[in-house]
Structure 1
Amino acid sequence: MNDSLLAMVNSGITLFGLPTTPLEVAGFVLAVITVLLNIYQLHWAWLFAIVSSAVYGLVFYASRLYGDMGLQLVFISVSFWGWYQWLRPGLQHTPALPVTRLSARGWLWALAGWVAGFGALWWFLASYTDTDVPRADAFLTAGSLVGQVLLSRKKLENWHAWIIVDVLYVALYIHKDLHLTAILYAVFVAMAVAGLLAWKKAAPDAPDTMVLK
């Protein structure tokens, strides 16, 4: 997308009294559709996730949220992988990928990945970008990556990660004057709770003994 076109779709408008841009509105709608499809375990969620991530990558670039911008590129890559993971069992004429729970070892891997990602991203953003929120951006980016990987493997705990991340993102986006996106993430909190309750009905009581597999 060239600079003139990006400037046009990122030009300021007012929607329901909130300052926003056409690009942010498009990302809002696509993201809501994505989460709704995830709750119902419909594989088309990954297609909307790819498009939504591309749109929000441009939104975050304009707001100097470089961690979040880079995260959208990762989301696009992981979404192709997640889409394949959700479809692969069906393509092999076996039952669809089931919802499972993390084992204790899986919890440790997920938490360790979040901490390690936070440290690495904090250092990178503080050292090589002009972001004014390196710690918050790094922490939430790392948490989002953990949530996305867990979602790709249909782990029930992906919703726990998203609830934590989405609550904190509301505050960050208000700080960055992305008010429509802040509302979106407040909606995401409620949707993540709904997703957790819906997936609990499908998940076995015993955790999966294979970490993220």
Structure 2
Amino acid sequence: MKNEEKFNKLFSAFVLIGMTVALVLTTALKLGDSTGGKILLLVSAFGSLMGVTSTVFSAKGNILTFLFGFLDVSIYGVICFINWRNGGTGLGNALLHLVYFVPMQFIGLAQWRKRGASSTDKPAAKRLDARGWLITSLLLLLGSVTLYFILAHFDKSAAGTFLKWSVILDVITLACNILGQLFMSNAYMEQWFFWIGVNIFSILMWSWTLSQTGGSYALIYIIKYSFYLINSIYGLRIWLALSRKEA
């Protein structure tokens, strides 16, 4: 048990320190060669740091995740909207974060408190049954198709093409985000499968943005979601153990 606690503390420190160092170096370099958007760059860096802090607390089952999460999703939603207005991707993620994620932080806070969570105690974790997985799979499929046609209508890139890859990345990220947050707010272990998907496709989405528009803040989000991916694998490990205790 002591070795487990020591590993958890060291891993959390690695993610937080690593992300902070990477953000400071990246931001300093980008500030030096950026001709504009320096305020967005700094705000993006701060929001990313809040986001990584939130995911570390989430992986550990600490209710403070929702405090840092509120700052993260608010900033990220605005940045995605600005990126879309400038001709890049991100409309779906902007709407997702501002309309869905922001209120879900308060819902999650209330639900975790009902399940015994505090700044020192973890929530009682749950798992999906076979019926729950079937419903989730159907929602993911139908929701993704519907979202694609809605977002493709508003997308400014690759106009006139039937399949818009930037929109596909946006839709997959959007769908996984919705389900991940829903399961997180209700303390389901399965949230981490969707967070892993979110992180992989977010890295791809921002890599595409970096290659197409060269946005100074895109590299920050690539770094952010790379650390998120590492932490989400760690979170899956922790929550598998938590859900076994409740089974």
Pair 1:195 & 2:215 matched: no
CA distance 1:16–1:174, shift in 2 (3 Å): farther
2:107 counterpart (73, 81, 91): 81
Cα distance change of structure 1 residues 113 and 57 upon mapping to structure 2, 3 Å threshold: same
Letter of the 2:182 counterpart: V
Relative to the length of structure 1, the TM-score reads 0.82
Asked whether the 8 Å contact 1:87–1:96 carries over to 2, the reply is no
After superposition, where does 1:82-101 map in structure 2 within 5 Å? 82-90=108-116, 97-101=123-127
Aligned length: 192
Q: Which runs of 5+ in 1 are unaligned?
A: 1-12, 208-213
Aligned to 2:79: 59
Structure 2 residues not aligned, in runs of 5+: 1-24, 85-89, 159-165, 211-217
SS at match of 2:244: coil
Deviations 1:85-134 (A, max 9, x none): 0012449xxx9741121101111122222222211211111113435622
SS of 1:146's equivalent in the other structure is helix
Post-superposition shift, 1:205? 7.4
Amino acid at match of 2:235: G
Identify the match of residue 96 of structure 2 among 55, 61, 71.
71
- SS of 2:62's partner is coil
More helix per residue: 1 or 2?
2
With over 3 angstroms needed to count, the CA separation of the structure-2 counterparts of 1:131 and 1:54, relative to structure 1, is farther
Task: Give the aligned CA root-mean-square deviation in angstroms.
Answer: 2.3
CA distance in 2, matches of 1:124, 1:98: 37
1:122–1:138 CA contact under 8 A, matched in 2: yes
What residue identity is the alignment partner of 1:81? I
Of residues 171, 174, 188, the one that matches 1:138 is: 171
Instruction: Sort the Cα spacing of 1:45 and 1:14 in 2 relative to 1 into closer, same or farther, 3 A.
Output: closer
Q: Percent identity?
A: 22
- Cα distance in 2 between the residues matched to 1:125 and 1:83: 30
Distance 1:107 1:163 in 2: 17
Query: How many angstroms does 1:16 deviate by?
Result: 5.2
Residue of structure 2 aligned with 1:15, choices 5, 16, 27: 27
Could you tell me whether the CA contact under 8 Å between 2:104 and 2:181 is conserved in 1?
A: yes
| CA–CA distance in structure 2, aligned partners of residues 145 and 89 of structure 1 | 21
Return the alpha-carbon distance in structure 2 between the equivalents of residues 102 and 162 of structure 1: 16
Give the match's secondary structure for 1:173. Answer: helix
Q: Quick one: distance in 2 between partners of 1:186 and 1:159? A: 15
Q: Secondary structure at the match of 1:52?
A: helix
Counterpart Cα distance in 2 of 1:200 and 1:14: 34
One-letter amino acid of the structure 2 residue matched with residue 134 of structure 1: V
Mapped contact 2:62–2:122 kept (Cα < 8 A): no
1:1-213 matches, within 5 Å, as 15=27, 17-18=29-30, 21-64=41-84, 65-73=90-98, 74-90=100-116, 97-130=123-156, 133-177=166-210, 178-204=218-244
Contact kept? 2:172, 2:201, Cα under 8 Å = no
CA distance in 2, matches of 1:75, 1:191: 19
Query: Does the 8 A contact of 1:53 with 1:75 survive in 2?
Result: yes
